[in-house]
C-alpha cells in the first residue's frame, strides 16, 4: 500500500485518471491539462456525461441521506471516493448524526492528498490510499478498524467505480469480500454505467476514450450483471433503476431517467 511513500511521480500527470476527469466534469479545479483533454474528448462524443456526473452525485446524496436518516446507519465505507467536492459522504451522514463515521478508500494519490487536507480533524473520518482490487488489506487496515465496528451494520458504497474494474479482476468477488465482513442489516449502495437503450453510441464512445487514454478502462455492464453484484442483499424500493429514478426528491425529474445511462440501487444484507 503506497500511503506515506506516495510521490509526485505517482500522481500520473502523464495520463488522465478517472478521479481527475470526473472532477473536471463536475466543474472542479483539481485536474491537469492531460485530464481536461481526455474529458473534452469524452464530452464531445457524449455531452450527457456532465449531467451523468451531476446525477451520480445527487444519487449519492439521496442514498446516504436514506441510509443515515431512514436505515439508521452510522458507519460508512466509501470505496472509490473521488476528489472532495460538495456533499461528501460524511457531510451528508453527519447532517443526520454528527457522530457518523466514514472511511474513504481510493487508489489515486491526489484523492488522498486533498482528503488529508480537507477532512475534519475530529476523528470521525479517515482516508486510505489503496486499490480495491485487493480488498483484504483494506478490510484489515488499522485505520479502518479504528472507525468501523463490524459487529454493527455498515453501509459499503461503490459509487461510479465498479465500471473501472475489469471482469478478470472479479468485481463480483470484491463486492462479496466486503459483504462477508458485515453483519445482516448492513447495506450496499452502488452506481454503474450500463449499455443504454437510447444513445448507446455516446456510452460506447466515452468508454473508448478511457480504454485508449486513461489509467483505467471503463466497462459497460448489462442490468443483469449489475444486479448480480447485489447477491446476498434485498434491494430496497425502487430497485435497480437509472440514477434520476432512485427516490427523486422532485418526482417529475425522474421522467427521462434512461437518457442517463448509469444504473443504481441500494440493498440490505440478508
Ligand X SMILES: C[S@@+](CC[C@H](N)C(=O)[O-])C[C@H]1O[C@@H](n2cnc3c(N)ncnc32)[C@H](O)[C@@H]1O
Residues that bind ligand X (CB under 6 A): 18-19, 22, 56-57, 60, 80-82, 106-108, 111, 131-133, 159-161, 164, 216
- Rounded CA separation 65/69 (Å): 6
Instruction: Please give the sequence-ordered ranges of beta strands (E in DSSP) within 122-201, or none if there are none.
Output: 125-129, 155-159, 187-193
Using the minimum distance from each CB to ligand X, give the nearer residue, 111 or 266. 111
Helix (H) or strand (E) holding 91: helix 89-96
Nearer to ligand X, 65 or 133 (CB): 133
Least CB distance from residue 30 to ligand X, whole Å? Answer: 11
- Least distance (Å) from ligand X to the CB of residue 184? 25
Residue closer to ligand X, measured from CB, 168 or 270: 168
Three-class secondary structure of residue 176 per DSSP: helix
- Of 56, 87, 70, the C-alpha closest to 244 is 56
Least Å distance between CB 109 and ligand X?
9
Report the residue number, 86 or 99, with the smaller CB distance to ligand X.
86
Q: What is the CA radius of gyration of the chain?
A: 17
Residue 28 vs 185, nearer CB to ligand X: 28
For 170, the 3-state DSSP assignment is coil
Phi, psi of 78 (to 5 degrees): -105, 100
Shortest reach from residue 63's CB to ligand X, in Å: 10
Taking CB atoms, the residue at the shortest distance from ligand X is 82
Smaller CB separation from ligand X, 20 or 101: 20
All three cell numbers of 231: 447477491
First to last CA, the chain: 32
Nearer to ligand X by Cβ, of 113 and 185: the residue is: 113
Least Cβ distance, residue 110 to ligand X (angstroms): 8
CB of 153 to ligand X, least distance (A): 21
CA 115, CA 97: separation in Å to the nearest integer? 21
C-alpha cell of 203?
A: 456510452
Helix (H) or strand (E) holding 50: helix 49-65
Total Cβ atoms within 10 A of residue 240: 21
C-alpha angle 260/230/149, rounded to 5°?
Answer: 115
Give the nearest distance from C-beta 111 to ligand X in angstroms.
5
Amino acid at each position: 500500500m503506497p500511503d506515506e511513500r506516495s510521490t509526485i511521480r505517482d500522481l500520473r500527470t502523464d495520463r488522465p485518471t478517472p478521479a481527475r476527469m470526473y472532477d473536471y466534469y463536475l466543474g472542479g479545479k483539481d485536474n491537469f491539462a492531460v485530464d481536461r483533454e481526455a474529458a473534452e474528448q469524452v464530452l464531445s462524443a457524449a455531452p450527457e456525461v456532465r449531467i451523468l456526473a451531476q446525477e451520480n452525485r445527487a444519487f449519492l446524496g439521496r442514498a446516504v441521506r436514506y441510509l443515515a436518516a431512514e436505515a439508521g446507519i452510522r458507519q460508512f465505507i466509501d470505496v472509490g471516493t473521488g476528489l472532495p467536492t460538495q456533499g461528501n459522504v460524511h457531510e451528508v451522514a453527519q447532517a443526520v448524526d454528527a457522530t457518523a463515521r466514514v472511511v474513504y478508500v481510493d487508489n489515486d494519490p491526489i484523492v488522498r492528498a486533498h482528503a488529508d487536507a480537507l477532512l475534519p480533524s475530529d476523528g470521525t473520518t479517515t482516508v486510505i490510499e489503496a486499490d480495491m482490487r485487493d480488498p483484504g488489506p483494506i478490510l484489515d487496515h488499522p485505520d479502518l478498524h479504528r472507525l468501523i465496528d463490524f459487529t454493527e451494520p455498515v453501509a459499503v458504497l461503490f459509487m461510479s467505480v465498479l465500471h473501472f474494474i475489469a471482469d478478470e479482476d472479479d468485481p463480483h468477488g470484491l463486492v462479496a469480500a466486503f459483504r462477508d465482513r458485515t453483519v445482516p442489516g448492513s447495506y450496499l449502495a452502488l452506481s454503474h454505467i450500463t449499455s443504454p437503450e437510447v444513445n448507446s453510441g455516446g456510452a460506447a464512445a466515452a468508454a473508448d476514450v478511457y480504454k485508449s487514454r486513461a489509467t483505467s478502462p471503463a466497462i459497460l455492464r448489462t442490468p443483469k450483471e449489475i444486479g448480480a453484484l447485489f447477491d446476498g442483499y434485498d434491494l430496497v424500493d425502487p430497485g435497480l433503476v437509472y440514477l434520476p429514478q432512485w427516490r427523486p426528491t422532485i418526482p417529475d425529474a425522474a421522467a427521462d431517467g434512461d437518457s442517463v445511462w448509469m444504473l443504481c440501487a441500494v440493498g440490505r444484507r440478508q
